[in-house]
Structures are given as structure tokens and as C-alpha cells.
Amino acid sequence: MNKPLITIEKLGIHYPLGQSLFGKPPVLKAVDDVSLKIEKGSFFGLVGESGSGKTTLGRATLRAAPITSGTVIYDDGEVVYDVGSIGKAQLKDYRTRAQLIFQDPYAALSPRMTVRDIIAEPLEVMKLTKNREETDARVREIAAKCRLNLEHLRRFPHAFSGGQRQRISIARALVCGPKFVVADEAVAALDVSIQADILNLLKSLQRDLDLTILFISHDLSVVAHVCDHVAVMYHGNIMEQAPTRQLFANPTHEYTQSLLSAIPSLDPDEPLRAKVYRPEEAR
Amino acid sequence: MTDTTPETAPESAEDRARKEAYFTASQSQLIWARFKKNRSAMAGAIVLAILIFMGLFAPFLSPYNPTIAGADKDYRNGAPQIPMFCDDNGCSWTPFLHGVKMELDMATLRRNPVIDPDVRRYVTLLPQGWEYRVAKFDIGIVSFNGFAMTTHLFGVEEGGIHIFGTDGTGKDVFSRTLHAIWTSLAVGTIGVVIAFVLALVIGGVAGYFGGWIDGVLQMITDAVRTVPAIPLFMALAAFAPPDWSSETRFFFISCILGLIGWPTLARRVRTHLLTERTQEYVLAAQLCGASSGHVIRRHLLPSFTSYIIVDLVISFPYMVLSETALSFIGLGLKEPVNSLGVLLQNVSKSDVLLNFQWEFIPVIFFVALVLAFVFVGDGLRDAADPYSSAKK
Amino acid sequence: MSLLSVENLQLKFRTDEGLVTAVDDVSFTLQAGEVLGLVGESGSGKSVTAKSIMMLNAENAVYDERSRITLNLESGPIDVLSLRRARDMKVVRGGAVSMIFQEPMASFAPAITIGAQMIEQLLLHTEMTKQQARKHSIEMLDRVGIKDPDKRIDQYAFQLSGGMRQRAMIAMALSTNPKVLIADEPTTALDVTIQAQVIELMKDLVSEFRMAILFITHDLGVIAQTADRVAVMYLGRIMESGPVRDVIRHPAHAYTQGLINALPKLDDLDAPLTPIPGDIPSPLERPSGCVFHPRNPTLVPGSRYEREVPPLTEVSPGHFAALFPEDVGPRS
């Protein structure tokens, strides 16, 4: 077994719901007592329906969501960070090692910057390059890896379709050479014919750049195709986690079974027989 | 694709260049391209440009001093004089006017101007007239007296030329109108600038930091919004000493307009910041470790400028309207200052309504000015909204 | 005679950039008790087609004069596109045709209770009294599987969960007993488990109420589970249409084949995902000939598809594809 890159232990993320004058305000437990190990070099799938806390969990690993309890440890062999209590200088370094790919390729790109400026921004902000030539070289290199045309770099985002924008978004996340990438519903907003292209791109980038990807999605069939390890989340808890093949061949948790049974089959003669998961009965 | 282009046409080099130009066009270029297509906005922009130009060169364009010093004693309450080329005594190459003199009308016992068709007064170009100063400004401690000039665009060799007629004291309505446009624009500009600086600071702080700061600032904003404008103006007018010079009064009014006008703008700034701050591209920058300064400078301000310009243009006519309203009810600027409000106040008399309709001409300019601003503002807003065309 | 027939529907939008074609020469029919699936990606014109049946498209829509949408009711046929006044439209909108949308929250007024909205609609379109309308609304809510319908009817849309809202929406759409139901991506915003329930519900309702459903979605799996016939649209044109089994098992058009190959399938995790090459072109740059030709990997350069628009050719009984007849071989 590989060494884990990300180790999540008993992670809790609670948001206060409103304020109350007396006693404790009620809290929303977005993530509740979650433990996970993401191996180095793995394509780790995190599946859940809306409100399951999968996005919050993903953001917590990047320190973009407040951690209430528990720990997130990042260990890539060079450095070890406790993400929850990371210092300012270390956080700067961590940002170069862990990045995020967004869901909506339209909202994630500033409409007022050229593609070159968008991709170069992380390098400039983190001061990773010495001069403009070096920045441009890095931008061109990553753009080519993400199959972006070099002449596209002077264009503005409005010139691009959803799939191309998502490639720009991926290039921006990868330009600083991160080792860990969180892809939050990275293909959910794309059309089927484009989605496969982006999935294949992510897969090949993961291999070439030796990335560890936390792939967050609501779509089980997508996860089944790209991930090697899957965790299923429901109401802030991990229901089941296993290697992909094992999980899909033999789902042990009732919730996973109900999720799998709810996917409409392409075969009209294989009617939908969705199992309903009722946690109160299961307990 | 438009219907006129055949769908089978291969992509020409020209076509590709046009497309590349679109792809590499920045936000402001796109806005301008969209604005140009909006005909009413373009018409508004042209009218606005002409009016501003007229206001800017008012002293040069107007043949007479618009104050009492330039009043024509021989032509009070006179009708507009249209220069002509021919009369009963034949034609001439230079346009001319007939002579006028005041005569007592025995029926109404009023002295009215009467035209003498036997006297010809020829129109002259670039005559020397009353003295005015170019590039004169006076902002508190910094002041510059400008250069004295006496040349005007047109005049008449003897007597007066009043193409928009004169008012009861013989002041030239045309000259007054031009100067009034300038005064109203100046009051509006000062008001808008004051309102905008306040709105940017207060709305910007509230929107960017949010939380309790936002709450407190919103309460203040709402408190200011609830202050009723008219009673406040009346109180302030009573407070303003009557011996204030017209310039001081003018500046005072502008400041009041600015201090009253900011809450609406502040709210808009805040709302815009709040929505823009949660955009994913801002989060993307923050995840790179970008500081607040970088986010504001690189993302928030550029996303803002187009909206700021639009807001400025849209709030401008309200400033002009407020100034006019104030002056109209007699609380703002007063005679002998020329502002559109003062001129509007003059035409509310029944005597003017019945007998001297030409004094209404400034009203047309006033309506044109406000409409031009509204059209340009609307056009800019439509052009600046990147989703307006996608929604169709 | 079919209940609804759409003939040569062509629709362009007048925009700043010129006329943009949204739907191009689309024809189909819908029988009572039948579910027709309309599948397509973004920009395929599937929603615009549906909206034109209720004349819900924006003001800048220009219909071609050859376009016909006919609704054959018991009272006689109605030429939908010739309706101009809101009063005439009442027979179609909310009367013979109802529509449910992707985002149920958007179709309920936020400040009015669900019941008030349902009752208002019934009073407008039927002869019911207020009491009858309320009783009928409660029955409908009960029918779509909402528990405690007599309590829920006095609640607001935001008080219901996503799945419940979609059910309430369906109840409202069905309460006037429409002949045709247009479902525009009704399950897209829902989680899979809820989607499965809504699909079940809609299948039950078709068999019970015998109405015709036009089911619009981008998800071939959902279509396979719900529709009897399917029409695949791309850039405003129908690429392929026919019985759902035929089309999904033996897709004749390269676009349908590409869509199916691009879809991740759970029963074969080793199958590679094959994207359709290229991107969906912007509506301003409509390709000539067959609109799909620039992305079609099976075509050789210079083929007929680059210049001429292929007709819908019958591949097998009732199964048509936008191919030239010489490309339609006997099925192996």
C-alpha cells in the first residue's frame, strides 16, 4: 500500500444555524466525524447527493472551509502539514501543492482577463517565477498539456465553449505544479459529448504529472469510470469506501445499493427498480 | 449566422480576422461595440455631446452677457428674431434683422417692442463683445483667473440679436440657456462626485467586509434615506445667509445634493461587491494565496468600472433634476445665476405662459438634456451587462 | 389522427448579431398515451421546440411561415402558431397543454401557497367552484405521493424539499387534466434517488391519465426508462428518431453513436470513454450541410454531408436518421 498523501481523521465541520440568545445555537453538521486516507497517486472519488457535505469536505482539505474538529494531514514526503492549524507562511507553500478545479467553467474565469493572464495569475501571485519570460514559458507548457491552442492565450474567456473553458480552468489549477488537486464536480456542467473528453484529459494529466486527485461528483457512473477508489457520503458521514471495482461489484452498504439501483439503465428492457434508503429503519 | 450569408461559404481570411478580433476584444471594447448598435443610446450620446459642447463654450457662443449687465433695454419681452435675407425692400447676401424700438401700447398701457421694417441691421461673424474669461476656475484655495477674451461667434452691427427672444428685463434667452446648461451640469458633476466618493467608500467597505460592519453601515444608509428631502432643503435654505454670493450658494447646493444622493449609489456598490466577491474566480485567486489588495485591484475593481460608469451616468440626470427642482421652488440657485431651474421658475408666471411663450425654449433644452442622459445611461447599462444578449 | 403534430418547425431568434437559427425543420407527432423523448445537448433546440408548442418563446422569435403546430382536440384542430391573443391561447396554455420545468422553485410564486396557486389555475381553466378546486387539488397532491396533502396545500414552495416540489409541480400541471404534458428536464436538478421516484411517478401517471408526454432531457438513460419513441436533436435539427429500443440498441447516426459511446456505463467499467471530437459550435456559426459534419469522425473530407442537408431516411420501420439513402445499409 502506498503512503497516504492526505489523511483525514475524525473531521467535523459544523456551521451555526442562526443565532440564539440562550444556550447554544443549533448547528448544521456539514461533515461529521469523517476519516479518510487518500493514497499518493490515486484518483479518489467522493460521491454523494446534494447536501451530503462532499464539497465542504473537499474544501476543508484545501483550507477553504473552517475545520471544527479533527485533523487533515498532508504528507507528500517533502513536507508534512497539519492543514487545520497551518501557519501563514506554510499556507503559502501549501497553496502551491494543493489546488482546486471548479464546477462551473463560466463563473470560474474572470471575464476581464485574457486566458494567458488567467493561467499566469497563480504564478504571479505566488511569485513562483522570476520574470515574464519564465511565466510565459510555464503558461505555454501547461496550456499545451491541457490541449489548449497557443493562439488562444490572447483571447478572452467569452471566446470559448464550456469544454474549452474547463480546460483553461484545469490549466490554471495545474500551472503551479500542485501534487494534490480537488476536482469539485468538474464535469457536472458539461454536455455528455464534452464530458468524456475532460475526463480523459484529467486521467492522462494525473498519470503524466503524478497527481493525486480528489474527484467529487454526484454521478456514480462517471466516478466508476475514472476513479480507483471511492467513498460514498451521505448527510456528512462516509457510508462506505472501497476500491472502485469492489464497491460497484459488491456494494455492502444499503445506501450505496440504493444509489446504484436508482441509476436509469440505458436498456429500456431493464426497468428501474430503485431501492429506497431509509436510515431510520436501518438503524 | 445572418440570413444573407450563404451557409456554404468557406471561411474567408477576412472572416477569420473579424472573429479573432471578437475573441481578443476586451470587456470595454465589447461594451463599446454593443453600445454603438443601440440607436437611441447613440442619438442620446450625440445630443449629450452637443449640449456639453454648448455649455462648455457658452460665453463664446452667446452674443450677450446673460446677467443684467448684458440686458437689452430696447428689446424687453421681445420675440425671437430670425435673421433673414429678403424683405419688402429687396434681398441681400448677408442676413440682417429689422430695427426695433420700445413703444407704449395704449390698449394695455405696456411698453412693447415694435419692429421697424425700414431699418436693416446686418449680422456679423466673430465680433468683439462683452468680456469673458477662458479657463477660469476657482476651487477653494486654488484659483486661476483665466484669459480675458471679447470675441464671440456672432452678433449684429447695431442694437441686439436675440434668436430666442428676451425676457422681461431684456436679458438674452439664448445666452442665458447656454450658461444655464453649464451651471446645471457643473452642479450635477460636483453632486455626483461627492455622492460617488461617499458611496464607493461606504458601500465598498460594507460590501467587502460584510458581517457586522455591513449591518451598521446599512443602518446608517437607511437612516439617511429616510430623511425627507424637501423639508431638509427648506431648513438649509433658511440656514443659508442671504448675503452669500451666488458662487457660494451654488457650491453649497451641490454639496447638499451630493450628501443626500449617496445612499442609493452606496447600496448599488455594495450589492455589486457582494455578488462579485462570491464569484468562483475570486475564490480561485484566494486559493492561490492572493491578498485582499490583489483581489480588489485585479478582480473586483475591473469588474466594477463599467458598472461605476453606468451608475454615474444614470444618477446624473437625478442630480440635474434635483437642482432644477430646488431652484424651481426657490430654495436653490436664484437670479441672477443662470441655471435651468432658475429659467424654469421664470416661465411659471401666467404672463409668460400667455404672452411670451419663447421663454419656454430653455425647457426644451432641459428635457433634451435629461432624456439624453437617460438614454445614454440605459444604453450603457444594456451594453455593460454581458448576459443581456445571452438571455434572449 | 395524432394528438399533436409539429411540421417543419423552423425558428430563428432576432439578436444583435443577426438571425440565429434555434430550430431547423423539425417535424414529429405525438399520440395520446405516448411518451416521446427529445434528447439533445445544450444548444440543440429541444427546449425551444417545446416552448413553441405553448408559444412561450421570447418576443424576438421568428417562426418560418411553413411551420405548423397542430393540436387535434375533440373540439377540433387548433393551429397553435396562428394564435395571437392571450384569450385564444388559454385553450392551449394550461388547458390542453401543461408544462413542468427543470427548476420547480422557479415555477411556484414564492409568496403564494401551493394551494392558492393550484386553485387559481383551476378556477381559470375549469368550471369548478373554489371548494371543488381545493378538494381536487388535495386529491392531486395525494395522487403524486405527497403525504398529508391537506396540510401541504397551505405551505409555500420553499417549505418543501426538492423532490416534493417537483411532485407538487406535476400535481399542478396535471390538475387541469391536460391532453399533452411537456416535461422540460424535470429530473435534471434532482438527486438520482429522487429522480428514480419521479420517473416511476410519471410512468404511472401516463398509464392512468392516458395523456401524451413530450419528455425533454439530455440524459439517454432517463429516456431509455421513460420514452416509447425518441428523437435525437443536435443544433436545432433532428438527427435520428424512432422507437426507443431501436435507436438506443442500433443507433444509425454517428451523433447518436457518439453520444452513447461518450456515456460512462456501469455494466462495463473497462469500456473507454470516447468523446465526440471537437466542441459544440456557437449558434452564430452554424455548419453548412449536415450540422454535425465537422465533428463526425466517420466522414471522409469532401463528402456530400459538408454541402447538402441529408434527409431523414428510414433505416428500419419507424426509425429514421438524417443520412443520405446510400449510407443506409441493411442492418447486420
B290: closest chain A residue by CA? A125
Percentages of chain A per state (helix, strand, coil), in multiples of 5: 40, 25, 35
Q: What pLDDT shows up at residue B7?
A: 39
When CB atoms are compared, the residue of B27, B285, B286 closest to A112 is B27
Q: How far apart are CA C119 and CA C132, in angstroms?
A: 9
- Closest alpha carbon to C100 in C17, C220, C187: C187
Residue B366 has pLDDT above 60, yes or no: yes
Residue B297 has pLDDT above 50, yes or no: yes
**Subunit contact B27:A111, Cβ cutoff 8 A:** yes
- Closest alpha carbon to B279 in A175, A156, A102, A66: A102
**Subunit contact B7:C286, Cβ cutoff 8 A:** yes
**Subunit contact C16:B37, Cβ cutoff 8 A:** yes
Which residue matches cell numbers 445634493?
B257
Per-residue pLDDT of chain A (283 residues; tens, 9 = 90+): 578 899 999 999 988 876 655 666 778 888 988 999 999 999 999 999 888 889 999 999 998 888 889 999 999 888 999 988 888 888 989 999 999 998 888 888 888 888 999 999 999 888 888 888 999 999 999 999 998 888 888 888 888 888 889 999 999 999 999 999 999 988 888 888 889 999 999 999 999 999 999 999 998 889 999 999 999 999 899 999 999 999 998 999 999 999 898 888 888 888 877 787 877 644 4
Q: What pLDDT shows up at residue B77?
A: 74
Is B31's Cβ below 8 Å from some Cβ in C?
Answer: no
**Subunit contact C200:A263, Cβ cutoff 8 A:** no
Q: How far apart are CA B136 and CA B151, in angstroms?
A: 16
**Subunit contact A110:B25, Cβ cutoff 8 A:** no
Residue B144 has pLDDT above 80, yes or no: no
Residue B139 has pLDDT above 60, yes or no: no
Q: How far off is chain B from C52, nearest CA to CA, in Å?
A: 14
B34: closest chain C residue by CA? C16
**Subunit contact B287:A62, Cβ cutoff 8 A:** yes
Task: Compute the mean pLDDT over every residue in chain B, rounded to the nearest whole number.
Answer: 76
Q: Which residue has the higher pLDDT, C93 or C136?
A: C136
Q: Which residue has the higher pLDDT, C175 or A23?
A: C175
Measured between its terminal Cα atoms, the distance across chain C in Å is 34
Task: Compute the mean pLDDT over every residue in chain C, rounded to the nearest whole number.
Answer: 88
C52-111 pLDDT per residue, tens: 998 888 888 889 989 999 999 888 888 888 888 878 888 888 788 988 888 777 778 888
Which residue matches cell numbers 450603457?
B380
Cell triple for B303: 469588474
Q: Which residue has the higher pLDDT, B360 or C313?
A: C313
When CB atoms are compared, the residue of A49, A161, A244 closest to C279 is A161
When CB atoms are compared, the residue of C162, C248, C280 closest to A268 is C248
Give every strand in the sheet of C35-40, ordered side by side.
C97-100, C180-184, C212-217, C35-40, C229-234, C237-243, C319-322, C312-316
- Closest alpha carbon to A190 in A230, A220, A219: A219
In this structure, are residues B86 and B60 in contact, taking their beta carbons and an 8 Å threshold? no
Numbered residues of chain A with Cβ closer than 8 Å to any chain B Cβ: 62, 64, 91-92, 95, 99-100, 102, 104, 107-114, 118, 121-122, 125-126, 154-156, 158-159, 172, 176
The pLDDT of C151-165, averaged and rounded, is 86
Q: What pLDDT shows up at residue B143?
A: 66
**Subunit contact B288:A122, Cβ cutoff 8 A:** yes
**Subunit contact C286:B2, Cβ cutoff 8 A:** no
In this structure, are residues C179 and C97 in contact, taking their beta carbons and an 8 Å threshold? yes
In this structure, are residues A198 and A215 in contact, taking their beta carbons and an 8 Å threshold? no
- Closest alpha carbon to B257 in B361, B339, B153: B339
Q: How far apart are CA B359 and CA B11, in angstroms?
A: 61
In this structure, are residues B240 and B249 in contact, taking their beta carbons and an 8 Å threshold? yes
The percentage of residues in chain C with a pLDDT greater than 70, rounded to a whole number, is 99
Q: What pLDDT shows up at residue A26?
A: 77
B16-30 pLDDT per residue, tens: 777 777 777 776 777
Q: How far apart are CA A1 and CA A6, in angstroms?
A: 14
Strands A4-16 and A27-39: antiparallel
Task: Establish whether the linkage from the previous residue to B95 is cis, with ω within 30° of 0.
Answer: no
Q: What pLDDT shows up at residue B5?
A: 37
Q: How far apart are CA C5 and CA B143, in angstroms?
A: 79
The pLDDT of C260-283, averaged and rounded, is 85
Cβ atoms within 10 Å, residue B249: 18
Cβ atoms within 10 Å, residue A258: 19
Q: Place B140 in a pLDDT band, splitting at 50, 70 and 90.
A: low
The percentage of residues in chain C with a pLDDT greater than 90, rounded to a whole number, is 35
The pLDDT of C247-260, averaged and rounded, is 93
**Subunit contact A266:C220, Cβ cutoff 8 A:** yes
Q: Place C332 in a pLDDT band, splitting at 50, 70 and 90.
A: very low
Q: Kindly give the residue spans of alpha helices, DSSP state H, lying in A46-131.
A: 54-61, 88-97, 115-125
The pLDDT of B298-318, averaged and rounded, is 77
B220-246 pLDDT per residue, tens: 888 888 877 777 777 777 777 777 766
- Closest alpha carbon to A170 in A217, A213, A127: A213
The pLDDT of C273-288, averaged and rounded, is 85
Cβ atoms within 10 Å, residue B350: 7
Q: What is the DSSP letter of B172?
A: B
Q: How far apart are CA C55 and CA C92, in angstroms?
A: 9
Q: What pLDDT shows up at residue C229?
A: 95
The pLDDT of B55-60, averaged and rounded, is 82
Residues of A in contact with B386 (CB under 8 A): 111, 158
Q: What pLDDT shows up at residue C254?
A: 93
Q: What pLDDT shows up at residue B135?
A: 61
Q: What pLDDT shows up at residue B2?
A: 38
Q: Which positions 34-93 of B are in contact with C (Cβ < 8 Å)?
A: 34, 37
Residues of A in contact with B287 (CB under 8 A): 62, 64, 95, 99-100
Q: Which residue has the higher pLDDT, B311 or A37?
A: A37
Q: What pLDDT shows up at residue B39?
A: 86
